[in-house]
A = this chain, B = another copy of it.
Amino acid sequence: MARQTPLSRDEFPAFRKLQTRWADNDMYGHMNNVVHYALFDTAINGWLIEQGLLDPMTSKIIGMVVETGCAYFSEMAFPDTVVAGIRVGHMGTSSVRYEIALFRNDEETAAAQGHFVHVYVDRQSRKPQPLDRLMQLKLEDYLR
Interface residues of A (CB under 8 A from B): 1, 3, 18-19, 21-23, 25-29, 32-34, 37-39, 41-42, 45-46, 49-50, 56-57, 62, 64-72, 75, 78-79, 90, 92, 95, 97, 117, 123, 126
- Residue contact A23 to B41, C-beta cutoff 8 Å: yes
Contact of A37 among B28, B33, B45 (CB under 8 A): B33
State whether B72 touches A67 (Cβ < 8 A): yes
- Are A56 and B25 in touch, CB under 8 angstroms? yes
Q: A1-B97, A41-B23 are in contact. Are A28 and B66 (CB under 8 A)?
A: no
A66 B3 Cβ-Cβ under 8 A: yes
Asked whether A42 and B22 contact (CB < 8 A) given A34-B37, A97-B1, A117-B1, the answer is yes
Using known A-B contacts A28-B62, A70-B67, determine if residue A21 contacts B38 with beta carbons closer than 8 Å: yes
CA A25 – CA B32 in complex, angstroms?
Answer: 11
Pick the contact of A67: B19, B23, B57, B71 (CB < 8 A).
B71
